[in-house]
Each structure stands twice: as C-alpha cells, then as structure tokens.
Amino acid sequence: MKIGLLGCGRAAELHMAAFKHLDASVVAVCDIDGERATEFSRRHNIPRVLSNYMDLLATKNLDFVDICTPPSTHVPFASAAAESGHDILLEKPMALTLTGCEEIIRQSAKHSVKLCICHNQMFFPSIKRANSLVLSGEYDLTSFRTSVKENPTMIGAPAWNLSDSEKGMIWDSGCHHAYLHLNFLKEISEVYAVGNTVSHPVLDNYAVLLRTSGKAIGIMEMSWLSKIIEAVYEIDSSDGKRLIIDRHHDSVTELPESSHSNLFSGFKKALNPTPEGLGYSIGHYLLIREYMSSLRKDEPPPVNPNEGRRAIKLLECIDESLKTGKPVKFQ
C-alpha cells in the first residue's frame, strides 16, 4: 500500500517502525519543518518531501494518509484529507474537543472515506489477552486500574506536549487511559478527578475514579514526575483473582499464578507472524495491519471514529472535574 505521511515527529517514527514490517510504502512525507522532513525522508528512504500538506493531499494513488501531527491540527488536516478522497489513519487523540471530533466524522462520512483512530495500546498482545479473558467471563471484573509514571524527556515528548494549547498530559497520555477504560469498563456513569501542576507548565500528576452502573470501578493514575518508566494495568475479579499487565514489557501475570501464564504464550503465538524487536511499536503494527486489511476487504476500521470521539468525551469530563473539584456525569 502507498501512504502519504503528514508529520515527522515522535508518532511518525513509531508508525515507520510498523510500516517496515508491513506491505506498506511511504511515498511522500510532509512537515512544516523542511529540514526535519528532509532528514526524516533520508533516514527512511522516502522519495518525496513536501512542506505544504495540500501538496501531499494532491498526491495521486495513495491508499491512505497517515496524520501524525499535533492534536490542534487534526480537524483541519483530517477534514482536508477527507475532502481529497483519501482514507485516513489519524493519531490519537482524535481532536481537542467533541465539536472537533464531530466535524472530522461529518467530513469523513460526507466524502465516504475510511477513518481509523490510532489508539494503539488496546492492540498490545498482553492487553488483548487480558481483554479476551474478561470478555470470555473468566474474569468477573470488579476494578480496572491503569497506572503510568514517566516524564516527558524519557518518552521523547515534543515541546508542544507541555503547552496549554495542546492540553498537555491529559490529552497526550491520558487519552490512552480513557480508551482502555472505555473498552474494559462498560457503562461508565460518573467521573471524579484530582490533580496538580508540580514541575511542568501543565498538569503533571493526577488520578481519576470512574463509577459504572454495575459493580465495576475504574482507577486512572498518571504522573510525569517519575525518573523511571512504569506502566502497570491491573484487573481484579470478584473471585479474588488478579491480572497484572506490565505494558512496558508487554507481559501479563495472573495472581495467584495459574495456567494463564502459559495461555499468554499461546496467545502470542496465535498473533504470528508478529515481528520481534518492535518494542512500543507492536501496538501500532497490529492496529495498522488490521486497518490495512479493512481497507482491502472494505470492512470497518479496527478503531472507528465514534470510539475516538467517545475517548475525547471522557477526557472532557475528566478536565471538567479537575477544574470544578466535583464529580461529572458521563453518558
């Protein structure tokens, strides 16, 4: 498949790592920083370098456009890509507001293009395995906790991640939490969040409680103050069992230990062929592979735009609760 890539930052590097293991060829790249685009194209052997995104969208015979730019640009860029008739892979978060999401959805529907939102973490083998155990009924979920501790330097966050205009950590890393909780917890009904700005210009330490209409609860913890990277997700079952997912190492452990440790190995084998050495890009690889398959078969994308919109709705509720200090209803 031939791809036009918009943006040459951190997300684009993760996507390129996935593309190299797929039947995919980036034939044109565009970035507002011409020097960065030129260097990026040299490292990845991309034949065309452009500085105007409209020139990229005018490129003929693209199978899809991959948008890896800051969230504040997603509405105009995705809308223009839809108007040009190109199918779209759009980096998370989908937009900075619900209104922005709805505009992208409207334009995609109007021009009949397939839009996939790149919520990659749900596609990690460890997370997919844990979700399959919950869906099968083997785990009667009573709580789902996501805890991520890192700092912007360690994850290579660009300067714009620390700006109010891009909504900082909540929209960047918190978007992952939101999408995961929406998949593991059904019928979230209320959101309560607390947080502080400690060492950065934007909120860098917060926690969220999620109430559902059932017996399950959700807990989100996020910090940009850590000197090490820690990404641990926990699932508690009503019978006392617990699944611990170490996303950083893509592993899942059941406590007390049981045969599920071997089941995960079997689950990984079932995902083959999955290239080794992809690291964090494993989620991107598996998501993009499914998206490319959906394009070939004319099927719905693996993460549809309404799912991306719902994640933004949850983030807006978290933001409102942080500002008011009160619980916020989520429907």
Burial 274-307 (b: 16+ CB within 10 A, else e): eeeebebbbbbbbbbbbbbebbeeeeebbbbbeb
Question: To which H or E segment does residue 196 belong?
Answer: strand 188-196
Average pLDDT along the chain: 93
CATH 3.30.1360.120, domain 2-119+297-304, yes or no: no
pTM of the model: 0.94
Fold for the domain defined by 121-272+309-329:
Dihydrodipicolinate Reductase; domain 2 (3.30.360)
* pLDDT tens by residue, 81-101: 999 999 999 999 999 999 999
Q: What torsion do the CA atoms of 95, 96, 99, 104 make, to the nearest 10 degrees? A: -10
Tell me the domain boundaries of the chain. Answer: 2-119+297-304, 121-272+309-329
Q: How many CB atoms lie within 10 A of CB 273?
A: 6
* pLDDT tens by residue, 31-87: 999 999 999 999 999 999 998 999 999 999 999 999 999 999 999 999 999 999 999
Task: Report whether pLDDT(268) > 90.
Answer: no
